[in-house]
Structure 1
């Protein structure tokens, strides 16, 4: 086995928008590859057949599903981020929460200095933490 990579399936052609958004919010992050659907292929032309990106060195894969599924993302799987400063945590939480859904507002829940959990505008779940 080479490695394990989290895989995100977007619907409605949102994969590239999500990758651009995430890599703009988290430093040392980048889109590393995109293969798009072409004319007369299974997906809508120009959408993401398969892509890879990194967030702070963690590799992710994603696609634009060419099939409309009856399911989407769930908070039972989330991206967990340990932030270095309270300012970094507050800023990232605020940006990811725009158009999203707050699951646990920023607070001291006893297990860290500050913690928040949310679903972003794409439905992807994030846990942001400021360790003690």
Structure 2
């Protein structure tokens, strides 16, 4: 799939980039790795992948740092069905942390916010029809 977007979400991990990318592409029906380059130690030097037609980039940082992901920035996903939002919420929250459980909200039929086991925050939305 060719994606022609001007702004791409870039995720920096500390050794779990490939594991995270493989989880994400396994739970989104049309997810795929489009490119991956490894460092000599096997960590990810640079990778691109797509989820729902959106391109993402990720790396494993070669520098140790004291910061990680924060919920102040999250990936917002509009789901096409209640089954999809339930499935994504279950898979992404496994070993993660639920920030807002799935439920109805003023702007959606079902909404939930979570932080996955890698620390990446996701807002999942099933819009009202």
Q: When the two structures are superposed, what TM-score results if normalisation uses the length of structure 1?
A: 0.91
Larger Rg: 1
Instruction: Look up the match of 2:8.
Output: 5
The structure carrying a bigger strand percent of its residues is 2
Determine whether 1:72 maps to 2:72.
no
Superposed CA offset, 1:4-41 (max 9, x none):
11000001x10000010000000111001111112xxx
User: What SS does the corresponding residue of 2:12 show, helix, strand or coil?
Assistant: strand
Matched ranges for 1:1-132 at <5 A: 3-11=6-14, 13-38=15-40, 45-132=41-128
RMSD: 1.0
Q: Gaps spanning 5+ residues in structure 1: where?
A: 39-44
Q: Gaps spanning 5+ residues in structure 2: where?
A: none
User: What SS does the corresponding residue of 2:63 show, helix, strand or coil?
Assistant: coil
1:110 is displaced (CA, Å) by 1.3
- Which 4+ residue blocks in structure 1 deviate beyond 4 angstroms? none
Superposed CA offset, 1:68-109 (max 9, x none):
111111111111111111111111101111000000100112
Matched length: 124
